Amino acid sequence: MSTDWLDQVKWNADGLVPAIAQDYQTGQVLMVAWMNREALQLTAREQRAIYWSRSRRKLWRKGEESGHVQKLHELRLDCDADVILMKVEQLGEIACHTGRRSCFYSVYRDGEWLPVDPVLKDPKSIYDK
């Protein structure tokens, strides 16, 4: 497989690009993470979301610990070629490490951030295996 398509991405100074995971049916934004060249190439090849963990400094296959895999349905590049959009099927219904459907569960109201989406599963039961 040719890698010319990877050369069209405008990687930042750290060799990364932000990647948005969006539910392919509802359009809900599930999470935002980072990808390096290898992560993006593997995402396309394996048809599942694979990110670059900046804190762990390694590839992170979404769901490798939790089982909450993001199955890829479509990969898009924005007009400036510096943001990836992935339309995914969120297996297990949980994208966030807090046990919620989406990482965007807080709403700004009256000068504060309020969590408005429920915890679907206790994170301890997901990650403390």
For 17-79, give the DSSP string: EEEEEEETTT--EEEEEEEEHHHHHHHHHHTB-EEEETTTTEEEETTTTTS--EEEEEEEE-T
Residue-level pLDDT at 65: 85
Per-residue model confidence as pLDDT tens digits over 82-108: 999 999 999 999 999 999 999 999 999
pLDDT at 57: 92
**At residue 70, what are phi and psi to the nearest 5 degrees?**
-110, 105
77 burial level (CB within 10 Å; 0-12, 13-18, 19+): middle
pTM > 0.85: yes
4-127 maps to which CATH number? 3.10.20.810
Amino acid 35: pLDDT: 98
The set of residues, in sequence order, having a beta carbon less than 8 Å from that of 16 and lying 6+ positions away, is 34, 35, 36, 52, 54
pLDDT band per the 50, 70, 90 thresholds, residue 18: very high
Q: Is there a contact between 52 and 36 (Cβ–Cβ < 8 Å)?
A: yes
